[in-house]
Amino acid sequence: MSLRLFTFAAPARFYALAGALIPWLWAATALLAAAGLYIGFFVAPTDATQGESYRIIFIHVPAAWMSMVLYLVMAFWAAIGWAFNARLASMVARALAPTGAMFTFVALWTGAFWGKPTWGTWWVWDARLTSELILLFLYLGYIALINAIDDVRRADHAGALLAVVGAVNVPIIYFSVKWWNTLHQGATISMTAAPKMASTMLTAMLLMTLAFWAYAFAVVFMRTRAIVLEREQHTDWVGALAHGKQQPQGAGS
């Protein structure tokens, strides 16, 4: 089998590769998260103004980063799947959406937990919070649309179009919300003035980000494998897999 750029674009080969990678990804997730949480909760110094409550930053900030990056990744793979009719890319996009929505929700929820002790409120209509909420709506819209369309091909392509439109709109929404926020002067708390961070804090945050990346890869691969099996259920290799053979045959080469 010769390795080319698109070797693993064949669902059967991707299935085998992802299956081999998943245990390693889970191990990486566990190790990185354990190290990140240990440094974040036991090594990093207590914040001078926020006390111990700031430590949720080690989950909050990486989750917020992931939520934004995953939307772009999802839109990218969906667009590739649409433009080049690459089935696997569409499946990956579909698998990414729930993970992205989960990270958005985690970012919002941990943000509320952080806001309550530091600001005395669960929620302010700050530009970043509002944009993150709108991002969650965009994820939910995408998930709702691809699930509402029964025809797989149409669902993939319509979802791709929506994801691309959303990706184009995200900066517009962000800046309009930001401007709206400064006009209304509702939130007096500014989060933009980031205090200087101790290097251990930065290390912990970096480790947690890597852990979240590994987690996202692991979960998305697992979900993609399930989608591959569902969509390729009539092919020979899935049949062979179902009848007890361990190694799936590459679908022609």
Task: Indicate the DSSP class of residue 56.
Answer: G
192 φ/ψ angles, rounded to the nearest 5 degrees:
-75, -30
Per CB under 8 A, the segment of 15-23, 157-165, 219-227, 239-247 that binds another protein is: 157-165
Give the chain's length. 253
245 contributes a contact to another protein by CB under 8 A: no
144 contributes a contact to another protein by CB under 8 A: yes
Looking from the CA of 148 toward its CB, the CA atoms found within 13 Å total 8
Q: Minimum distance between the CB of residue 133 and another protein, rounded to whole angstroms?
A: 9
Per CB under 8 A, the segment of 19-27, 43-51, 96-104, 167-175 that binds another protein is: 167-175
User: Using CA atoms, how far apart are residues 66 and 204, in angstroms rounded to an integer?
Assistant: 16
Closer by beta carbon to another protein, 9 or else 161 = 161
Binds another protein (CB under 8 A): choice among 7, 176, 203, 235:
176
Question: Is the torsion defined by CA of 221, 227, 232, 238 positive or negative?
Answer: positive
Binding footprint of another protein, residue count (CB under 8 A): 26
User: Using CA atoms, how far apart are residues 61 and 33, in angstroms rounded to an integer?
Assistant: 14
Q: Minimum distance between the CB of residue 21 and another protein, rounded to whole angstroms?
A: 32
Q: Minimum distance between the CB of residue 12 and another protein, rounded to whole angstroms?
A: 26
Residue 33's nearest CA partner among 3, 64, 58, 67 is 58
Three-state DSSP at 47 gives: strand
Binds another protein (CB under 8 A): choice among 70, 108, 138, 211:
138
Binds another protein (CB under 8 A): choice among 35, 69, 112, 140:
140
Instruction: Give how far Cα 113 sits from Cα of 45, 108, 186, Å.
Output: 20, 9, 20
**Which residues of the shown chain bind another protein in the complex (CB under 8 A)?**
134, 137-138, 140-141, 144-145, 148-149, 153-154, 157-158, 161-162, 165-166, 168-169, 172-173, 176-177, 179-180, 183
